[in-house]
A and B are shown apart, each in its own frame.
Chain A
Amino acid sequence: MSARRFFRSPWRTAGYILLVIVTLLWLVPFGQAILTSFRSYDDIMIRGFFSLPQTISLNSYREAWVRGGLSRYLPNSFIITLPSLILTLLFSSLSAYALARFRFPGNRALYFLYVGGTMLPFQVLMLPVFRLTNALGLYDTYWGLIAFHTAFQLGFCTFLLRNYMRTVPGEILEAARMDGCSEFRIWWQIMMPLTLPALAALATLEFTWIFNDYLWAIILLRSDSLKPVTAGLATLQGQYVMDWTVIVAGALLATIPTVIVFIFLQRYFIEGLTLGATK
């Protein structure tokens, strides 16, 4: 429908205006955060939120980055997220392949175990996992957190990949089998490339999830030098109780990686979300 025809009806125009207003209100939290981050807290405190800024500067960002420790927390987030992401995709594609392509006793039971685990309120695992990392000497290391993320995300990834792998036509795999390809090579050289769209969607979604995790970071890490950015922000909040501009600037800095991923891989992000829920 052309824009002109669309706006011919007054009701439709009114509805459209309402939609625009609601959308803009939805974006207000972002707007106010960005505006705040460029001002000084004294300026807001003395002259109020609705005043022309006295000065506009990047001081709050600098403060959050250097003294607030974001220069340390942000790299930590990547150190934790990337290995977890790669490992969980690798392991889940193995189990998904087995569940999607082989008949064996317990197939469906295992599938349900994975799906059920996805829905678990993960707090249930908190204390045993805490104890386990202590026992294994993984408490307060990157590896404890990486191991847990890898294992916990297996449920969702296996669920999604298994359903995707079932849609791959069996003839392709059968042909490879006839040619004497080993099952392992079929998985790696035929199934994995064919699963690439699902893997991309999943990787985008999982990156955001693991990157944004807060609970496990505060449970399995104690040292400030190891914390990812979510846990780091909570520390920052305690440190700068009286300076909201620094906290807000830090929060905005912390979102840059996921926003970049979202901007460039938006399509995959949405695909991942809907694949998971409509299958």
Chain B
Amino acid sequence: MRRKMFRSRLTPYLFLIGPLILYFIWVVGPMLYTIYLSFTNWDGVSSPAVTGWRNYQKLFRDPVFYISLTNNLKWMLCFITIPVVVGLALALVLNRNIPGAKFFKTSFYSPMVLSLVVCGLIWSWMYHPAKGLINETFRAVGLDMLAKGWLSDRRLVMWAIIAVGVWRQVGYVMILYLAGLQGIDPTLVDASRVDGCNRWQTIRHVILPLLTPVTVVVVVISIIDSLRAFDLVSVMTRGGPYYSSSVLANFMYIEAFNNYKMGYGAAISVILFLLSAVFIFIYLWRVLQTELEY
């Protein structure tokens, strides 16, 4: 009897042991090891030597760091506004069975299926200064002054890349809101109509508050995605011209793998982690709350 109890107490750990070993070796361990590396002068070849705070001191004096940080913030700002507003609007419209709703939905989330690399390449061609679709269209309608070097102009390039990210993100946000809307009890909406709310008031005072949990998730995911941004920049500009489109992840990659300053790269990634940690905790806190509702 005692043996059986012991065995049953052991059971969950038997299920967990394989996955946990993998997870600790490849995710948890490396996470902690990055922090250590950020205090070293590792170059990727010789063994790392501890240099204290030097990487961080250098980082906080590096103008490219501030350019990259600002670009990440621009990205974040765009991501928590445009896709959220457009995605919500689309979800509200498409949730009411209008003719062709399925076609509209599919069109908006189809970019999600493409890899970011493919998105980056297709859009690089759209942005092509001489023969890209965008400039050709402006020239064709006589708006020549709007035909720009989208990816070579230092003031435009970051926005041009973010636009691609937004194009891909809108459908995702729309799907999440559509799922949220499906979960709303229709009697609540009917009740507000009976009480004399017009459509706008119903949205403002009934639907939006009920969608708050979805909005929290959407905003957190958007922020994390904007901090992760790498592929588009890497494919479209590699951070150029003159670092004007550099983001932290790309800055880190170049320092670590092109300049072999891996310790420095690790310090950049620690900053990236600290920035996202705040939002990860907000998210976990929300998960904890839904846990307690069980």
A interface list, Cβ under 8 A from B: 1, 3, 6, 15-16, 19, 23, 26-30, 32-33, 36, 44-45, 48-50, 91-92, 94-95, 97-99, 101-102, 104, 107-108, 110, 112-117, 119-132, 147-148, 150-152, 154-155, 158, 166, 183, 187, 208, 211-215, 219, 230, 233-234, 237, 244, 247-248, 250-252, 254-255, 258-259, 262, 266, 269-270, 273-274, 277-279
Contact = CB atoms under 8 A, between A and B. Distances in A.
B113 to A, nearest CB: 5
A252 B63 CA distance: 38
Interface of B: 9, 11-16, 18-20, 22-23, 25-31, 33-34, 37, 42, 44, 93, 97-99, 103-104, 106-111, 113-119, 121-123, 125-126, 128, 130-133, 136-137, 140, 167, 172, 175-176, 178-180, 183, 213-214, 217-218, 220-221, 224, 227-228, 230-231, 234-235, 248-249, 252-253, 256-257, 262, 265-266, 269-270, 272-273, 276, 279-280, 283-284, 287-288, 290-291, 294
Nearest to B119: A29
Contact of B16 (A110, A120, A251, A269): A110
A128 B34 contact: yes
Contact of B249 (A15, A101, A121, A147): A121
A95 B17 CA distance: 8
Given A29-B111, A129-B30, A278-B217, 17 more contacts: A23-B107, A29-B123, A32-B126, A97-B15, A98-B15, A113-B28, A119-B283, A121-B276, A123-B248, A151-B27, A155-B23, A214-B235, A215-B230, A230-B115, A248-B122, A269-B113, A279-B290
A79 to B, nearest CB: 17
Nearest to A107: B12
A274 B109 CA distance: 13
A71 to B, nearest CB: 18
Contacts of B272: 121, 123-124
A206 B104 CA distance: 24
Contacts of A94: 15-16, 18-19
